[in-house]
Structure 1
Amino acid sequence: MRILICGTTYHPALNGQAIFTTNLARGLAGRGHQVVCLFPSERRKAYAERRDGVQLEGMASLSAVRVHPDSFVPLPARSRIRRILDELRPQVVHLQDHYPLCRRVAREARRRGIRLVGTNHFMPANVAPYLPGHVRFMPLLERLLWAWMLRVYRGLDVVTAQSLAAAEILRQRSLGIPVHAVSCGIDLDRFRPDPSVDRVRCRRELGLDPTRTLLVFVGRVDREKRIDVLLRAMQRLDRPDLQLAVVGRGAASEALQSLAQALELGDRVRFTGFVHQDLHVLLNSADIFVMASEAELLSLASLEAMACGLPLLLADAVALPELVEPGINGYLFAPGDPDDAARCIAELADHPERWAAMGAASVARAQPHGLERTLERYEALYRPARPALIRTDGPPATPRERRRSGA
């Protein structure tokens, strides 16, 4: 198939959308499809190059680093979008978000009768913190942000969400078109238990104590990840036998390091930044994976930790409960509650004899999230003929609504 994938972020960015889009594009290309990816250039200047079997089309952009380090805003390029569509003649266009570039591509694709698939990575809680006045006007901002998203996605043929919880969120918003829960998928050949990993050497290379119980967080170090909850939990525990590694980079790194100093955590917390060695090696060197985010539509990082055989301690919010069966492969703690997080950390840290069984349960629960299964699901969703615009959770769309959606 000829497939155009469009979004606002791609490799080498390290956010969940970029990782999924990159894995999807490379995976589809590896299965024999012709794949083109369109996104704002991380180099600012426009470019076109082939990498890992995928044709990359970076659109000229402006850096929005003051908003977020991985944020780039595309400049208007209607003629280039039209040229790419006309030359590729894609059988399907797969949108990764509803922002200006994807909106323009959707408009042009719809005019050409091209099937439109969209994956939702959006939650207002992941966007609002970067907007001015977000605390005071949060309810209004949430309504406006959802309205913007729905206006674009209601004009698509089918929408996917990464988890059952994420799909239900969209259905409750009366999206009006089919919503399928499709995992983002992880590479199970790469992320797996590996007894050959030298745990002591890996920890020492990162400045971590090989004799302590190691809790690890992996992901963007941004406000919405609620790493502050983990830091406060570590303070409440005040246990020198525990060490937390915060692995990743993001806009909140400096503020969180200042908080760790204010909490007098010392070497019980280590901010490693981006880890250049293979991530699966780090995960195989850890004892427990922790995540306090309250706005995860799936959490690739948690899945990768599961596949490597780690027990999990996750916030009981949105999609994270789908990954944990309490007492079987980990525990859930109350969102935003460092006292409950500390209780769960202590419960698991005090019983290392449970780790092996819990880790094995994590591995088993990760298997349905293999990337190959995800690629098969998307191939099936890409192929059907374009259906009529039908509301699946409400009355038929009115002529006015059809005109607004572009149908």
Structure 2
Amino acid sequence: MSSSPSDPTSAPDAVSAAPTPGERPLRILIGCDTFAPDINGAARFAERLAAGLVQRGDDVHVVAPNVAYRRAPARTEVIEGEPMTMHRLPSVRWAPHDWLRFVWPWRSKHYARKVLDAVQPDVVHIQSHIVIGRGLARIAHQRGIPVIATNHVMAENILDHTTMPKWVDDLVLRFAWADAKRTFGLTRAVTTPTRRAADFLERTIELQGVIPVSCGIDRSQYTPVIGPRDKNRIVFVGRLTAEKQVEVILQAMTKLDPALDVTFDIVGGGDQRKQLENLTAQLGLADRVTFHGRTTDEELRALLSRASLFVIASIAELQSIATMEAMASALPIVAADAVALPHLVHDGENGYLFAPGDADALAERLTRVLTAEPAEYERMQQASLDGVAIHDIHRTLDTFEALYRDEPLPQ
């Protein structure tokens, strides 16, 4: 694997730039183990990346699991408002999980050969090393097709989807990371959303030169409303799974001063929803907590615009697109001091950090924001807007196109 040492996430300004005139469009094959209709950070990133590349004139093909155990013929699907060619592979649902589907691993190279024969891409960009990405990387490498890899995986994300004893989980993790090292070794470059996530990956599999590239966000799609709110509303957006630790937020809600009259909007679905609804009732919070489930983009943006702050207790974020969406909506953030969240949330600037799992500390940080003087609250709002500016989607697209073309990365 070869890579550039520059850090695209640290640039002072996000620059939108179309490909240089005269450069021919690329035919890009994006390999995903999760993609629409799935709702999670990795899927959302791949969708926005693909749509952005289409907007720039590239010929984009996406290979992803089908929603049934049958192979769908290649067809055009409209993703994020843009048409692209989808190659849907037969998949089965992982029984303990409410939406996770996967392709049989022993079929991954077979499908990779067929898709690569049909598409003949200039470059392959895999979004994980797990199944589809693994097969594509191996066959593309054999054929001399350059491969770029982006890692969205944390160990906690893998363990959350198993029902096996710990000793089996440990074996699975060792195999998974060893396989990741082999797969990423076949690539031209490996990226991950933040410098902290890159450091984590380099330590975990002894890989050098991992490039931090923000998932990016189109800030024009959000409506920041500067100024104090007329009601104290906190909001969380994300999958309701174990590593998100939404129960810690619910516990913190019970420790807030009742005079603050705080309500909590939870946006997203997942296998923990029923448990969280039961906990909400047990804690006496049923009249203050709303489970919205999956929402449209318009509904989500409206919930963000009216909220007082965004809260996230997750211990396994390699970046958090949801947090960036909240920042683009001018919300102060209260976040767990874990993995890459401190990359977005600077304690005392655009919000506060708390020790993971500490409901008392979380309640104290929430109270600080909700009782802040108007000038202080607006300062945190502006800090969120300033902080998310460097994550502009156009800079992300510039960086990946440079990697695809094996050109210097934008400074």
Q: Which amino acid aligns with 1:309?
A: A
Match of 2:348 in 1: 327
Identity, % of aligned pairs?
Answer: 37
Deviation, structure 1 residue 42: 1.9
Hey, what's the Cα distance between the residues in 2 that align with 1:137 and 1:336? 26
139-148 or 218-227, which deviates more: 139-148
Hey, what's the Cα distance between the residues in 2 that align with 1:13 and 1:318? 24
Hey, what's the Cα distance between the residues in 1 that align with 2:96 and 2:397? 32
Deviation, structure 1 residue 39: 0.7
> In the comparison of the two structures, how many residue pairs are matched?
371
RMSD: 2.0
Are residue 245 (structure 1) and residue 265 (structure 2) matched? yes
374-383 or 232-241, which deviates more: 232-241
Alpha carbons of 1:309 and 1:218: their partners in 2 closer, same or farther (altered >3 Å)?
Answer: same
Hey, what's the Cα distance between the residues in 2 that align with 1:77 and 1:341? 44
Alpha carbons of 1:177 and 1:35: their partners in 2 closer, same or farther (altered >3 Å)?
Answer: farther
Hey, what's the Cα distance between the residues in 1 that align with 2:345 and 2:268? 23
**Correspondent of 1:361 among 383, 389, 394:** 383
Deviation, structure 1 residue 131: 1.4
Q: Deviations over 1:143-198 (max 9, x none)?
A: 33322322222222210010010011122135435310000011111024158xxx
Match of 2:64 in 1: 39
| Aligned positions of 1:3-402 closer than 5 A | 3-47=28-72, 48-51=74-77, 52-64=82-94, 66-75=95-104, 76=107, 78-133=109-164, 135=166, 140-193=171-224, 212-237=231-256, 239=258, 241-276=261-296, 278=298, 279-353=300-374, 354-384=376-406
Deviation, structure 1 residue 88: 2.1
Runs of 4+ in 1 over 4 A off after TM superposition: 77-80, 134-141
Hey, what's the Cα distance between the residues in 2 that align with 1:165 and 1:364? 20
Hey, what's the Cα distance between the residues in 1 that align with 2:115 and 2:173? 34
Hey, what's the Cα distance between the residues in 1 that align with 2:314 and 2:189? 28
Q: Which amino acid aligns with 2:271?
A: A
SS of the aligned residue for 2:254 comes to helix
Q: Deviations over 1:308-356 (max 9, x none)?
A: 1000000000100011122211000111111110111111111151222
Alpha carbons of 1:6 and 1:277: their partners in 2 closer, same or farther (altered >3 Å)?
Answer: closer
Hey, what's the Cα distance between the residues in 1 that align with 2:242 and 2:364? 23
Match of 1:205 in 2: none
SS of the aligned residue for 2:99 comes to coil
Hey, what's the Cα distance between the residues in 2 that align with 1:310 and 1:34? 36
Alpha carbons of 1:338 and 1:140: their partners in 2 closer, same or farther (altered >3 Å)?
Answer: farther
Q: Which amino acid aligns with 2:285?
A: L
Question: TM-score, length-normalised on structure 1?
Answer: 0.86
Structure 1: gaps of 5 or more residues: 200-209, 386-407
Alpha carbons of 1:134 and 1:224: their partners in 2 closer, same or farther (altered >3 Å)?
Answer: farther
Quick check: 1:310–1:355 contact (8 Å CA) kept in 2? no
Q: Which amino acid aligns with 1:370?
A: D
Alpha carbons of 1:384 and 1:350: their partners in 2 closer, same or farther (altered >3 Å)?
Answer: same
Q: Which amino acid aligns with 1:268?
A: R
Deviation, structure 1 residue 140: 4.9
Deviation, structure 1 residue 117: 0.6
Hey, what's the Cα distance between the residues in 2 that align with 1:277 and 1:20? 14
Q: Which amino acid aligns with 1:60?
A: P
Deviation, structure 1 residue 244: 1.1
Quick check: 1:163–1:182 contact (8 Å CA) kept in 2? yes
Structure 2: gaps of 5 or more residues: 1-25
234-243 or 163-172, which deviates more: 234-243
